[in-house]
């Protein structure tokens, strides 16, 4: 997500909620059948094994009932969704080659400018396909692969096949199965041993058409001793009827490597956002999820880290914001497979004007995984009496020698805090904004500077008019 | 009337439905230092909060005028912008908000924008005067502050906002002798002929370092006696009961 895009987020409908004409949607079919799945695979010119993988996944998807827990998903009209839309015939590596209407969209969102300013590589996905892709020459020369996932399947099938669906199998859960059947786009990153990518790689995801289903698939492999920071952002137009975003993200962090994955999710309030994210961290590796959920109608997302070998470290920092009509059911999973592993989950949620946030966490320590330390801390802040927050922490500890702490708090923006700040000349809205920004500060300070500034600005905008 | 005078006239205030102030009259003229003493529960803090505009304090009768205008019609931030300041007895913590960022916004709201360099210089100089470590600037507001640190932080805010009327609510309570000296030196430095001060306190000892022009004894929601510094000294000697019997 780009700096300038966020700066102009004074009003979602005006600033992000616009949409382009979309002739390509006219002849597309809605709904999901084996024929549509075959057609997607055919149009992409995929090898037979991928076509079979997709069809098998469709079977898993159809066989599995909707999850009986979590947020209310009864509003999704699966038969009305476009499962695949191709907006442009080719992928560009220069913004000049991106079709005008699409380029204008990304211009308005500030992506090309952000790329020039502070990014090492950019991917821009529009509907089902990545329409623009670039990576800095020096990284390419070091052997870094940063491309869209479809291209990776064509050009790097050997690496691709070795890791594909190994972290999140096709039958993992209903929405992972759906993604596996109809996936398109997403990022593929391979960082060679010892290579540190010091500035972030970024992907920007945009839904344009009403009732679109976006199913990108991301696979990141960090070879031993490498480092990458990947940032993704997403927005969509505001429509009356709903769209569906269901991504799968798989990450493998090998010995001594470190991966940080930052999400600033700002979908419009008619998008169901149901995402499966999971990483495996091996010996002395570090995996970090920084997960900010501001938008969407419903989000269900619990980034997971499997700590596979001794010395592995996992950290998830998450912020959720829920306004009117929004339900953020977010959290984290930590699975300590090996002894001498450590993890930390810090979750902060803010609910306003009837919004609902849920923290859902799972902490598991396998039998024999001794000398594990794990900390979970989740804090919820309620702006008013209409809003709601729930905590669902699950723990599954089968080892003996473990150090585990869990803290959870729910608080309201306090009258005393508001009065204190107001008595120093701050308006009620400024005081609320300051309290909320302070509340999420421990996580925002982990964001790259450009995003941190904009995150605070977004909160300020959300708080406007929220207090008398 | 542009003069920085505070006039309190027949003030009645309820807290949670119970009447705490029962017809209080007080006038603090420009540049005067007043001390308000009284036993626990007499309504001292209630008066301080009411002047600052805490929503929990309900004025049922009477009025407060500041610079000739009706204070009770103003929001708390409006009062701050007009130069009223309350140093809290128990300042609340705002986690995640750095002292310096908070001060910056407060100063901006009260005075308009100050250049960043000038602002930082003033913060640093004032902190040095109050014997506050530089690290204070980036600590989260009142979070994990000791009692003495909180009181110094209040005086720091007062110094930055340069009020025209400062109300010090038990600023001396919970402080040891050295800390009282630092705080009272700070107040004495800020004192000027344009600024009025209303000191709310239990004890006389604070008044030895900040000499008030007038002393009032508050009992059961009303001013029972008023006088000069000698009244505070007498109170110190004989205590409330004896003092009020002689009234």
Q: In this predicted model, which residue has the larger pLDDT, A27 or A304?
A: A304
| Mean pLDDT value across residues B62-66 | 97
Q: Shortest CA distance to A268 belongs to which of A218, A201, A349, A209?
A: A209
Q: How confident is the model at residue A131 (pLDDT cuts 50, 70, 90)?
A: confident
Residues 6 or more apart whose CB falls under 8 angstroms from that of A316 comprise A288, A289, A291, A303, A305, A332, A334, A344, A345, A346, A347
Q: Shortest CA distance to A381 belongs to which of A456, A345, A435, A430?
A: A435
Mean pLDDT for chain A overall: 90
* pLDDT of residue A332 exceeding 50: yes
pLDDT in tens, B162-195: 999 999 999 888 888 888 888 888 889 999 999 9
**Interface contact A435-B75, CB threshold 8 A:** no
Q: Which of A124-133, A431-440, B169-178 has maximum average pLDDT?
A: A431-440
Q: How confident is the model at residue B216 (pLDDT cuts 50, 70, 90)?
A: very high
Residues 6 or more apart whose CB falls under 8 angstroms from that of B150 comprise B90, B91, B142
How many angstroms separate the CA of residue B114 from the nearest CA in chain A?
15
Question: Which CATH number describes the domain made up of B6-92+167-245?
Answer: 3.40.50.300
A414 contacts in chain B (CB < 8 Å): 92
Query: Pairing mode, if any, of strands B165-169 and B196-201?
Result: parallel
* R_g of chain A computed on alpha carbons: 21
Query: Pairing mode, if any, of strands B69-70 and B57-66?
Result: antiparallel
User: Across the A/B interface, how many CB contacts are shorter than 8 Å?
Assistant: 78
Q: B96, B155, B166: which to substitute to probe chain A, counting the most A Cβ within 10 Å?
A: B96
* pLDDT of residue B30 exceeding 50: yes
* Per-residue confidence (pLDDT) for residue A26, from 0 to 100: 63
* pLDDT of residue A9 exceeding 70: no
* pLDDT of residue A459 exceeding 80: no
* CA-to-CA separations, A55 to A32, A63, A149, A171, in angstroms, rounded: 11, 12, 18, 12
Percent of chain A with pLDDT over 90: 68
Do residues A187 and A217 lie in contact, with contact meaning Cβ atoms separated by under 8 Å?
Answer: no
pLDDT in tens, A110-119: 788 877 777 8
How many angstroms separate the CA of residue A334 from the nearest CA in chain B?
26
Q: Tell me if ipTM is over 0.90.
A: yes
| Mean pLDDT value across residues A226-245 | 90
How many angstroms separate the CA of residue A411 from the nearest CA in chain B?
12
* Per-residue confidence (pLDDT) for residue B246, from 0 to 100: 61
**Interface contact B75-A422, CB threshold 8 A:** yes
* Per-residue confidence (pLDDT) for residue A201, from 0 to 100: 93
Q: In this predicted model, which residue has the larger pLDDT, A301 or A87?
A: A301
How many angstroms separate the CA of residue B54 from the nearest CA in chain A?
6
Look at residue B216 and give its three-state secondary structure: strand
| Mean pLDDT value across residues B213-221 | 95
* Per-residue confidence (pLDDT) for residue A101, from 0 to 100: 83
**For residue A378, what is the enclosing H or E element?**
strand A372-382
Q: How confident is the model at residue A3 (pLDDT cuts 50, 70, 90)?
A: very low
Which tokens is A229 given? 């920071």
Look at residue B141 and give its three-state secondary structure: coil
Q: Nearest chain B residue to A435 by CA: give it.
A: B94
Look at residue B187 and give its three-state secondary structure: helix
Q: How confident is the model at residue A10 (pLDDT cuts 50, 70, 90)?
A: very low
**Interface contact A435-B110, CB threshold 8 A:** no
* Per-residue confidence (pLDDT) for residue A27, from 0 to 100: 66
Q: Nearest chain A residue to B76 by CA: give it.
A: A423
| Mean pLDDT value across residues A166-172 | 98
Asked if the C-beta of B50 comes within 8 angstroms of chain A's C-beta atoms, the answer is no
Asked if the C-beta of B97 comes within 8 angstroms of chain A's C-beta atoms, the answer is yes
* pLDDT of residue A77 exceeding 80: yes
B85 contacts in chain A (CB < 8 Å): 423
Which sequence spans correspond to the domains of chain B? 6-92+167-245
* Per-residue confidence (pLDDT) for residue A453, from 0 to 100: 76
Q: How confident is the model at residue B136 (pLDDT cuts 50, 70, 90)?
A: very high
> Which of B56, B86, B140 is facing A423, going by the closest CB pair?
B86
* Per-residue confidence (pLDDT) for residue A298, from 0 to 100: 97
Q: In this predicted model, which residue has the larger pLDDT, A334 or A465?
A: A334
Mean pLDDT for chain B overall: 92
* Per-residue confidence (pLDDT) for residue A116, from 0 to 100: 77
Which sequence spans correspond to the domains of chain A? 3-301, 416-468
A430 contacts in chain B (CB < 8 Å): 105, 109
* pLDDT of residue B94 exceeding 50: yes
Asked if the C-beta of B203 comes within 8 angstroms of chain A's C-beta atoms, the answer is no
Quote the distance between the C-alpha of residue B115 and its chain's center: 28
B79 contacts in chain A (CB < 8 Å): 423
State pTM to two decimals: 0.86
The helix, strand and coil proportions of chain B, stated in percent and rounded to the nearest 5, come to 40, 25, 30
* Per-residue confidence (pLDDT) for residue B169, from 0 to 100: 95
Q: How confident is the model at residue A319 (pLDDT cuts 50, 70, 90)?
A: very high
How many angstroms separate the CA of residue A10 from the nearest CA in chain B?
21
**Interface contact B94-A424, CB threshold 8 A:** no
* Per-residue confidence (pLDDT) for residue A60, from 0 to 100: 98
A95-104, A292-301, B161-170: least confidently modelled range: A95-104
A156-170, A191-205, A278-292: least confidently modelled range: A191-205
Q: A428, A435, A438, A453: which to substitute to probe chain B, counting the most B Cβ within 10 Å?
A: A438
* pLDDT of residue A435 exceeding 80: yes
Which tokens is A187 given? 């990022």
Separation between Cα atoms, residue A440 and residue A347, nearest integer Å: 9
Q: In this predicted model, which residue has the larger pLDDT, A304 or B204?
A: A304
Separation between Cα atoms, residue B144 and residue B141, nearest integer Å: 9
Quote the distance between the C-alpha of residue A372 and its chain's center: 27
* Per-residue confidence (pLDDT) for residue A465, from 0 to 100: 53
């Amino acid at each position: 997500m780009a700096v300038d895009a966020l700066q102009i987020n004074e009003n979602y409908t005006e600033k992000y909620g616009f949409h382009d004409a979309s002739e390509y949607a006219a002849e597309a079919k809605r709904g999901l059948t084996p024929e549509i799945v075959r057609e997607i695979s055919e149009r992409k010119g995929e090898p037979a094994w991928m076509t079979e993988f997709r069809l098998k996944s469709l079977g898993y998807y159809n066989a599995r009932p909707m999850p009986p827990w979590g947020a209310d998903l009864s509003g999704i009209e699966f038969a009305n969704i476009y499962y695949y839309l191709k907006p442009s015939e080719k992928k560009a590596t220069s913004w000049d080659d991106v079709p005008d209407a699409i380029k204008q969209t990304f211009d308005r969102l500030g992506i090309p400018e952000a790329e020039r300013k502070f990014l090492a590589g950019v991917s821009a996905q529009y509907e089902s396909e990545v329409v623009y892709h670039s990576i800095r020459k020096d990284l390419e020369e070091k052997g870094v692969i940063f491309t869209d996932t479809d291209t990776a399947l064509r050009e790097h099938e050997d690496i691709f096949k070795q890791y594909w669906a190994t972290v999140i199998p096709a039958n993992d859960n209903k929405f992972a199965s759906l993604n596996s059947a109809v996936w398109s786009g997403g990022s593929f990153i391979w960082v060679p041993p010892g290579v540190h990518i010091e500035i972030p790689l970024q992907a920007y995801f945009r839904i344009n058409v009403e009732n679109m289903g976006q199913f990108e698939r991301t696979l990141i492999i960090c070879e031993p001793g490498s480092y990458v920071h990947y940032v993704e952002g997403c927005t969509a137009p505001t429509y009356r009827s709903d769209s569906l975003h269901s991504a799968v993200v798989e990450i493998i962090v090998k010995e001594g490597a470190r991966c940080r994955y930052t999400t600033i999710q700002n979908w419009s309030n008619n998008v169901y956002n149901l995402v499966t994210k999971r990483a495996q961290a091996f010996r002395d590796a570090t995996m970090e999820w920084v997960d900010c959920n501001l938008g969407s109608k419903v989000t269900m997302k619990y980034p997971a880290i499997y700590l596979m070998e001794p010395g592995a470290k996992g950290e998830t920092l998450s912020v959720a914001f829920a306004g009117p009509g929004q339900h953020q059911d977010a959290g984290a999973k930590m699975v300590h497979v090996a002894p001498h592993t450590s993890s930390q989950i810090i979750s902060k949620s803010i609910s306003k004007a009837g919004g609902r946030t849920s923290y859902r966490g799972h902490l598991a320590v396998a039998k024999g995984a001794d000398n594990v330390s794990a900390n979970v801390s989740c804090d919820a802040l309620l702006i008013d009496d209409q809003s709601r927050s729930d905590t669902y922490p699950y723990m599954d500890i089968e080892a003996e020698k473990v150090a585990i702490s869990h803290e959870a708090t729910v608080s309201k923006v306090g009258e005393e805090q508001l009065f204190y700040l107001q008595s120093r000349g701050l308006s009620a809205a400024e005081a609320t904004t300051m309290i909320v920004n302070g509340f999420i500060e421990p996580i925002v300070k982990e964001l790259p500077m450009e995003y941190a500034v904009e995150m605070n600005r977004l909160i300020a905008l959300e708080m406007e008019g929220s207090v008398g | 009337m542009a003069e920085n005078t505070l006039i309190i006239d027949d003030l009645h205030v309820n807290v949670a439905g119970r009447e705490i102030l029962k017809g209080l009259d007080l006038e603090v003229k420009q540049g005067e230092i007043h001390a308000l003493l009284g036993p626990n529960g007499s309504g001292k803090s209630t008066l301080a909060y009411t002047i600052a505009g805490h929503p929990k304090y309900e004025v049922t009768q009477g009025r407060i005028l500041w610079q000739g205008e009706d204070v009770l019609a103003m929001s708390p931030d409006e009062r701050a912008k007009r130069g009223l300041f309350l140093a809290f007895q128990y300042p609340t913590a705002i986690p995640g908000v750095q002292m310096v960022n908070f001060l910056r916004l407060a100063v901006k709201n009260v005075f308009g924008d100050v250049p960043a360099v000038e602002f930082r210089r003033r913060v640093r100089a004032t902190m040095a005067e109050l014997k506050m470590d530089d690290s204070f600037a980036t600590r989260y507001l009142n979070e994990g502050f000791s009692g003495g640190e909180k009181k110094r932080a209040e005086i720091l805010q007062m110094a930055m906002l340069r009020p025209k009327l400062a109300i010090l609510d038990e600023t001396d309570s919970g402080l040891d002798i050295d800390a009282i000296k630092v705080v009272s030196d700070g107040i004495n430095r800020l004192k000027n002929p344009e600024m009025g001060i209303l000191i709310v306190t239990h004890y006389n000892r604070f008044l030895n370092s900040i000499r008030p022009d007038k002393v009032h004894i508050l009992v059961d929601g009303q001013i029972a006696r008023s006088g000069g510094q000698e009244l505070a000294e007498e109170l110190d000697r004989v205590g409330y009961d004896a003092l009020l019997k002689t009234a």
